[in-house]
Amino acid sequence: MNGNRRAFLIGGGAALTAAWFARRSKSADASAAAPGSAQAVAKQVTIEEFSPDGKSLGLKQVAKVVKSEAEWRAQLSPLAFQVARQAGTEYPFSGEYDKNHALGVYLCVCCDTALYDSRTKFDSGTGWPSFYRAISHYNVAQGKDWTLGMLREAVSCTRCDAHLGHVFDDGPKPTGLRYCMNSVALRFVPYSA
């Protein structure tokens, strides 16, 4: 009797759990399709906007940029797609911004969010454009990257999740950081006069 009771309780619990998952998945499908539902409305993120001369215009809520793979491929060069959308890396010393010393702002190649100010750029000798600070902590996100068999801190654009590069703790003062970015993930805009 004890074994029958245990089987009944376990079987009943499994049936309730299955019913809960089925109901949850059905309601999630229905809410995703419903206009005005949380999933139908574009996710909002906070970024800091900047003027063409690199001055902060304050924080702004904007829609997260989400596109299909086909849309990203149509917008980006093959190398920019591989780096920004598939977390690739360009070859060192091959990017157009490694030796760029002009004054301006570096934007995300995918969504034009301001990412780095040229006044924080330095020659790291690594072959990639390097910065000791992001233009705003609101505009870049960081996450763990275990590729290449080691832990690194990956950097991406907050607004569109474009992979930009990695950040290391061997940079110059005042931050001691080295944001090692891929040129193809960036678009440089000189300061306006």
Position 148 scores a pLDDT of: 74
**Strand, coil or helix: 15:** helix
In which residue are the tokens 């505009």 written? 139
Q: What is the pLDDT of residue 31?
A: 36
189 exposure class (CB count in 10 Å sphere: 0-12, 13-18, 19+): middle
pTM, to two decimals:
0.78
42/54: higher pLDDT: 54
pLDDT at 193: 60
**Tell me, what's the pLDDT at 151?**
84
Given strand 130-131, what is the order of strands in its sheet? 121-122, 130-131, 178-181, 163-168, 152-157, 140-145
Higher pLDDT pick, 69 / 29: 69
In the chain, what percentage of residues exceed pLDDT 90?
Answer: 72
Q: What pLDDT is attached to residue 142?
A: 95
Confidence of residue 147 (pLDDT cuts 50, 70, 90): confident
Mean pLDDT of 69-97: 97
Q: What is the pLDDT of residue 29?
A: 38
Q: Which of 15-19, 48-52, 59-63, 168-172 has the lowest mean pLDDT?
A: 15-19
Q: Which residues are catalytic?
A: 180
Q: What's the pLDDT band for 26 if we cut at 50, 70, 90? A: very low
Q: What is the mean pLDDT of residues 16-33?
A: 37
Q: How far apart are CA 85 and CA 40, in angstroms?
A: 23
